[in-house]
């Protein structure tokens, strides 16, 4: 083989000897200016059509390297970049590149200016447009949710959305609305809303009902919006409910089950939450009263009625213990029940 330019014999690259080839070839190039898109809402940067939560410096380097045009058959094996701010929106990037082309090793330098441009990423424009696919409705059953309950539930919901967003940035809450009896959270994803509503139901002892409405057709397919109604139980820990006609103290509420204490027998039971949807609270915490103990036998307590101060006898359930000279009681259907503390 010989060089078509200088006629020298030997190995050739694209018909040129090594010297002529290197002299006449640029292996890399870059445009004078490279735009770096940043979302002014979430401050993420777009690199190769993906939105990333990285630092400005990292974004400048990534977008600059991505903009390099490399000659076919060549490869950048190492690069070193120097970034210098010209002004807050323009950055000089000088690049020192080690390139391999076949068995040739070449060094080249490039320069570009990375320009920062503000935009709104598709996710944020959806959020700002209140885009949603699903609603989680949180409701109390008989009474309104307390502010504390609302806050705890919202914090749990928010945490799960944030975790999902770390995996997939398209997971978000676009709207939160206070409504009588609870709140509505508008979510970008049906599957996320489904799993979160189930978790909230489990954790707070509520039932979940799903309903969907056809909103439109897109490319011949039906598009649904799905609503998950999470109805929280009417009872809280430490309250007394009427279950099968007998007062029961709510000991604890776990995912799926609630532990109750039968105030007649002093026996604890675990009930599936699903079977307690209809129970009624008969004494909130502040309705569990103190009664003075007047005397005590093995089976009975003589106490002073907390409302009318008459002396009454109450049978002690198996294993009932109390400290001090008062006990907690509730009065239900004219009967007095001891409430262990
Ligand atoms: Zn030559
Ligand atoms: Zn954004």
**Average per-residue pLDDT in the chain?**
91
Residue 40 Cα to chain centre, angstroms: 22
Strand order in the sheet with 207-218: 173-179, 182-187, 134-139, 221-231, 207-218
Q: Tell me the CA–centroid distance for residue 164 and ligand 2, in Å.
A: 16
Integer Cα distance of 180 and 267 in angstroms = 37
What is the C-alpha to C-alpha distance for residues 69 and 305, in angstroms, rounded to an integer? 90
| The pLDDT of residue 146 is above 80 | no
Burial tier of 137 (Cβ tally within 10 Å: 0-12, 13-18, 19+):
buried
Instruction: Assess contact for 59 and 67: CB atoms under 8 A.
Output: no
For the question of whether the overall pTM of this predicted structure is more than 0.75, the answer is: no
Q: What is the pLDDT of residue 204?
A: 79
**Separation of CA 69 and ligand 1 centre (Å):** 25
Q: Is residue 181 over pLDDT 90?
A: no
Distance between Cα 106 and ligand 1 center (Å): 17
- Are 51 and 41 in contact by the 8 Å Cβ rule? The answer is no
Tell me: pLDDT of 138 over 70. yes
| Displacement of CA 337 from its chain's centroid (Å) | 43
Tokens linked to 324:
């001090």
- Pick from 80, 148, 87: which is nearest to 108 by CA? 80
**pLDDT given for residue 253 in this prediction:** 85
Ligand 1 mean position, distance from CA 78 (Å): 28
Domains and CATH numbers, the chain: 12-121 (no CATH), 130-231 (3.10.20), 240-339 (no CATH)
Residue 15 CB partners (closer than 8 Å, separation 6+): 3, 4
pLDDT value for 322:
82
DSSP state string for 221-236:
EEEEEEEEEEE--S--
Find the 3 Cα to ligand 1 centroid distance in Å.
Answer: 5
Expressed in angstroms and rounded, the spacing between residue 235 Cα and the centre of ligand 2 is: 41
What pLDDT score does 143 carry? Answer: 61
In the numeric block, which tokens belong to residue 168?
């997939």
Query: For residue 9, how far is its CA from the centre of ligand 1 (angstroms)?
Result: 8
Output DSSP code: residue 141: S
Q: Which ligand is closest to the CA of 128, given by its number? A: 2
Cα Rg for the chain, rounded, in angstroms? 36
Return the top range by mean pLDDT from 4-8, 13-17, 105-109, 262-266: 105-109
Give the pLDDT of residue 164.
95
Closest-approaching ligand to the CA atom of 24? 1
First to last CA, the chain: 99
What is residue 142's predicted lDDT score, i.e. its pLDDT? 63
- pLDDT at 201 (0 to 100): 86
């Amino acid at each position: 083989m010989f060089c078509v330019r200088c006629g020298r014999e030997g190995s050739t690259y694209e018909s040129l000897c090594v010297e002529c080839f290197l002299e006449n070839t640029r292996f890399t190039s870059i445009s004078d200016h490279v735009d770096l898109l940043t979302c002014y809402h979430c401050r993420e940067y777009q690199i190769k059509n993906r939105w990333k939560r990285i630092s400005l410096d990292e974004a400048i380097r990534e977008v600059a390297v991505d903009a390099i045009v490399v000659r076919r058959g060549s490869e950048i094996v190492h690069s070193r970049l120097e970034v210098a701010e010209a002004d807050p929106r323009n950055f000089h990037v000088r690049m020192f590149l080690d390139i391999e082309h076949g068995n040739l090793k070449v060094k080249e330098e490039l320069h570009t200016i990375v320009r920062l441009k503000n935009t709104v990423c598709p996710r944020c424009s959806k959020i700002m447009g209140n885009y949603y696919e699903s609603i989680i409705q949180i409701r109390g059953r008989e009474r309104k949710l307390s502010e504390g309950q609302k806050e705890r539930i919202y914090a749990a919901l928010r945490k799960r959305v944030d975790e999902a967003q770390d995996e997939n940035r398209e997971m978000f809450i676009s709207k939160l609305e206070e409504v009588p009896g609870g709140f509505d959270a508008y979510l970008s994803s049906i599957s996320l809303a489904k799993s979160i509503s189930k978790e909230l139901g489990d954790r707070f002892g509520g039932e979940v009902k799903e309903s969907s409405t056809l909103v439109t057709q897109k490319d011949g397919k039906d598009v649904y919006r799905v609503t998950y109604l999470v109805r929280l139980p009417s009872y809280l820990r430490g309250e007394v409910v009427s279950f099968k006609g007998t007062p029961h103290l709510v000991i604890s509420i776990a995912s799926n089950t609630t532990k109750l204490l039968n105030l007649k027998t002093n026996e604890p039971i675990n009930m599936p939450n699903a079977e307690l949807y209809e129970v009624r609270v008969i004494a909130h915490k502040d309705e569990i009263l103190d009664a003075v103990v007047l005397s005590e036998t093995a089976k009975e307590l003589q106490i002073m009625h907390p409302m009318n101060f008459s002396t009454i006898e109450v049978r002690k359930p198996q294993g009932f213990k109390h400290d001090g000279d008062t006990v907690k009681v509730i009065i239900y259907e004219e009967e007095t029940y001891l409430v262990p503390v």
